[in-house]
């Protein structure tokens, strides 16, 4: 389970074909307003800056001074771009905090290293959510945005699906993971929990298949870790919103192969209005997209299903800005499983689009 958590909440997995390492001319690691940050500026700085949002974290993200920058950024540095990354003052779904703290880091960069001539925003997983929010709300600052495996649909829809999956699991395996509303304070998605889930599936493979069919974006090897994590996610959002923002009372489960029994037997919950309002605020896409926004996804993403991003495309189309959004993909299983070369290719296409107006082709990353 912990490996999946790292995939979702850290900087992703880089496959073979890694970029050659580069030593920036300036590596500035420190704290601003008591929030840690890292800034890397190459010797051939082109006076453009990429502000990067990392993903959801169970444990606080740190920037050790002895570690080189992640290879995913090497192609950007080679092209002359500076990269700035902020940690967040909170773990979990810290969209509210990350949005404000990354803006403070941008201003700190200007004060300390000079004003760039152009800004770009980039984010991974939950960071993709933040990239979308930023390009919608700060088009006067940022030239374009790149989301990598981003959770860019409506946040409440994503969380509601995850909550509904855990409720369905409880129908098949009552009391195995304890209460759902609220999830116990001491719950963690550790190896013990994952083993408990997988042992239960071994005894009832029919139940596992029903859950796989309903969820539609996972395989046998990762449905257990997903359920283990979803439970933590639910706990964190219940604590963050001081209530229960999740609801399956009006949901009709369809596609499990066991729909009648599941709908008749699953426990129903109703969410609390104020808690729901917070989740919707952080974040629901407005579709008011006046700058280029490119999104790259794995088709086999089990945590943020690739089909979810179509919701963002629809929002942009409804707002009259559909031409400013492009969805691309790589055919791969996993969450945020890209090579540095793929990330560089997507970023190059974003830059070319912004500078020449040549909109990249939607679909498979060429």
- Superfamily of domain 2-154+284-364, CATH level 4: Alpha/Beta hydrolase fold, catalytic domain (3.40.50.1820)
Residues 6+ apart with CB under 8 A from 97: 88, 89, 90
Tell me phi and psi for residue 143, to 5 degrees: -80, -30
pLDDT tens per residue, range 276-301: 999 999 999 999 999 999 999 999 99
Q: Report how far residue 129's alpha carbon sits from residue 352's, in angstroms, rounded to the nearest whole number.
A: 23
Rounded to whole angstroms, what are the CA distances from 330 to 10, 74, 132, 262?
20, 20, 20, 34
Rounded to the nearest angstrom, the gap between the alpha carbon of residue 218 and the centroid of all alpha carbons in its chain is 17
pLDDT of res. 75:
96
Measured on CA atoms in the order 343, 345, 351, 357, is the torsion positive or negative? negative
Q: Report how far residue 160's alpha carbon sits from residue 247's, in angstroms, rounded to the nearest whole number.
A: 7
Residues 6+ apart with CB under 8 A from 333: 219, 298, 300, 302
pLDDT tier at 24, thresholds 50, 70, 90: confident
The token pair at 184 is 């116990």
pLDDT of res. 96:
98
pLDDT tier at 13, thresholds 50, 70, 90: low
Task: Kindly tell me if the per-residue pLDDT of 1 is higher than 90.
Answer: no
Please state the domain extents for the chain: 2-154+284-364, 155-280
pLDDT of res. 102:
98
Averaged over 233-262, what is the pLDDT?
A: 98
Place of tokens 């919608």: 136
- Cβ–Cβ under 8 Å, residues 214 and 168: yes
pLDDT tens per residue, range 333-350: 999 999 999 999 999 999
Q: Please choose, from the candidates 173, 280, 194, the residue with its C-alpha nearest in 3D space to the C-alpha of residue 237.
A: 280
């Amino acid at each position: 389970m912990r490996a999946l958590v790292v995939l979702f909440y850290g900087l992703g997995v880089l496959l073979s074909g890694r970029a050659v390492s580069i030593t920036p001319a300036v590596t500035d690691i420190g704290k601003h307003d008591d929030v840690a940050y890292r800034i890397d500026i190459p010797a051939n700085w082109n006076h453009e800056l990429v502000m990067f949002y990392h993903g959801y974290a169970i444990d606080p993200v740190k920037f050790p001074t002895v570690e080189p920058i992640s290879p995913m950024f090497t192609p950007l540095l080679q092209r002359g771009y500076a990269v700035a990354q902020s940690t967040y003052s909170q773990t979990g779904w810290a969209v509210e905090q990350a949005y404000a703290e990354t803006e403070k880091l941008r201003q700190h960069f200007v004060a300390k290293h000079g004003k760039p001539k152009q800004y770009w925003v980039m984010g991974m997983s939950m960071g993709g959510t933040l990239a979308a929010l930023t390009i919608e709300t700060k088009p006067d600052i940022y030239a374009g945005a790149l989301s990598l495996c981003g959770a860019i649909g409506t946040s409440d829809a994503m969380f509601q699906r995850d909550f509904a999956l855990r409720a369905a699991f409880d129908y098949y395996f009552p009391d195995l993971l304890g209460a759902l509303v609220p999830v116990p304070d001491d719950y963690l998605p550790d190896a013990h929990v994952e083993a408990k889930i997988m042992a239960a599936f071994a005894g009832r493979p029919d139940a596992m298949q029903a859950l796989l069919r309903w969820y539609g974006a996972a395989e046998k090897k990762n449905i257990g870790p997903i359920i283990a994590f979803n439970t933590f996610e639910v706990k964190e959002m219940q604590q963050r919103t001081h209530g229960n923002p999740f609801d399956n009372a009006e949901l009709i489960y369809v596609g499990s192969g066991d729909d009648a029994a599941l709908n008749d037997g699953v426990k129903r919950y109703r969410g609390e209005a104020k808690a729901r309002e917070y989740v919707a605020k952080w974040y629901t896409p407005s579709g008011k997209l006046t700058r280029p926004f490119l999104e790259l996804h794995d088709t086999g993403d089990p945590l943020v299903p690739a089909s979810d991003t179509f919701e963002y495309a629809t929002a942009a189309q409804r707002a009259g800005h559909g031409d400013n959004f492009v969805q691309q993909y790589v055919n791969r299983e996993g969450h945020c499983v890209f090579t540095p070369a793929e990330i560089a290719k997507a970023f190059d296409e974003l830059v070319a689009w912004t500078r020449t107006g040549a909109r990249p082709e939607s679909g498979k990353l060429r």
